[in-house]
């Protein structure tokens, strides 16, 4: 075995590139550019190749390369250029089509049939639920990881106070009612469920605990992440812009942190220009079917109220899907 004079980072770099089949002359030349003597580089290449652990690393590298080819094939076969808008599907149409293929689309005629569509607004919430205690995510601007550390930003207040704070700053990311606040599970806002007409592919018996209220000013941002279930995001009041990235994009998996991405949308566009980002604007009355695993970042363009529903009449809990949580 050689003397350990080569830095650990270089040894790891050599092992990774050897396992991936990079030409040895290319690696030696690259190291020479950084003042690593050719003899030293060659000596460590031989030592790494003789290691029993290296054989296992090569097998894993081959497995990863094959998996990446499968992902490339899936992206090629399922590539969509735009997010389709269509009328509300039947259960058979939904489950045999977008559900099975994992394809996002916008429903144009579902939400306008709900009493919520003509009723829900900041003034309506203040009038009907002003005394109801809700939990909001506040002081988000001071924390770049505000969504991950949502518990540290939770603040209780009456709905009337929350509405006043939203209207006082009509453009801000500092205050927001988010899914993790679980306001629809607290009871005080239960009448809202009576103002939703569940399509036949959703189970109204499971709505409580499978729904989330989103309410905040223009400028709120839900950072780039994916969910572990299929979701129907219904836009009731105001507009939102949703940015979507296919879950089969391997570059994003390499930057995953749990269900979040280490980069925001701007970072993806700057550092990973090869990643294709789809964009859709949700108008009031539109609903987005957001399939399991799709990366998405959401920006509110106006004071906005949305409800997310995932009580589909199909198994929809996929908590195992957290590739960003895998660590070695």
> In this predicted model, what pLDDT tens digit does every residue of 98-141 receive, in sequence order?
999 999 999 999 999 999 999 999 999 999 999 999 999 999 99
For the chain, what's the residue count?
A: 328
- Give the burial class of 220: count Cβ atoms within 10 A of its Cβ; 0-12 exposed, 13-18 middle, 19 or more buried: buried
User: What confidence tier does 16 reach under pLDDT thresholds 50, 70, 90?
Assistant: confident
Q: What average pLDDT does this structure show over 159-173?
A: 95
CATH pick for 81-309 out of 2.60.120.650, 2.60.120.10, 3.40.190.10, 3.40.50.740: 2.60.120.650
User: What confidence tier does 2 reach under pLDDT thresholds 50, 70, 90?
Assistant: very low
Inform me whether the pLDDT recorded for 250 exceeds 70.
yes
Question: Cα Rg for the chain, rounded, in angstroms?
Answer: 25
Tens digit of pLDDT for each residue in 144-156?
999 999 999 999 9
Inform me whether the pLDDT recorded for 69 exceeds 80.
no
Which element (helix H / strand E) includes 223?
strand 221-225
DSSP 8-class letter at 218: B
Domain ranges of the chain: 8-73, 81-309
């Amino acid at each position: 075995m050689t003397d350990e004079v080569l830095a650990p980072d270089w040894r790891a770099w050599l092992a990774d590139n050897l396992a991936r089949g990079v030409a040895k002359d290319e690696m030696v030349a690259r190291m020479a550019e950084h003042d690593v003597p050719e003899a030293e580089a060659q000596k460590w290449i031989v030592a790494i190749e003789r290691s029993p652990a290296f054989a296992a690393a090569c097998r894993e590298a081959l497995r990863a390369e094959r998996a990446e080819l499968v992902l490339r094939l899936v992206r090629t076969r399922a590539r969509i250029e735009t997010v389709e808008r269509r009328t509300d599907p039947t259960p058979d149409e939904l489950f045999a089509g977008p559900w099975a293929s994992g394809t996002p689309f916008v429903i144009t005629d579902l939400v306008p049939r709900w009493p919520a569509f003509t009723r829900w607004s900041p003034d309506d919430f203040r009038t009907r639920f002003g005394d109801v205690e809700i939990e909001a995510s506040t002081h988000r601007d001071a924390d770049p990881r505000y969504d991950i550390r949502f518990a540290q930003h939770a603040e209780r207040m009456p709905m009337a106070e929350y509405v006043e704070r939203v209207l006082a700053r009509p453009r801000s990311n500092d205050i927001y009612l988010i899914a993790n606040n679980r306001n629809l599970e607290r009871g005080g806002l239960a009448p809202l469920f009576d103002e939703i007409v569940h399509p036949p592919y959703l189970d109204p018996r499971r709505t409580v605990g499978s729904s989330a209220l989103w309410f905040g000013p223009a400028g709120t941002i839900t950072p780039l992440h994916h969910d572990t279930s299929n979701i129907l995001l219904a836009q009731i009041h105001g507009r939102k812009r949703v940015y979507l990235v296919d879950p089969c994009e391997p570059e994003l998996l390499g930057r995953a942190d749990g269900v979040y991405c280490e980069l925001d949308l701007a970072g993806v566009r700057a550092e990973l220009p090869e990643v294709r980002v789809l964009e859709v604007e949700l108008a009031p009355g539109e609903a987005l079917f957001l399939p399991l695993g799709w990366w998405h970042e959401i920006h509110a363009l106006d004071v906005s109220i949305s409800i997310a529903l995932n009580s589909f009449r199909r198994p929809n809990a996929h908590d195992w899907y957290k590739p960003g949580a895998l660590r070695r």
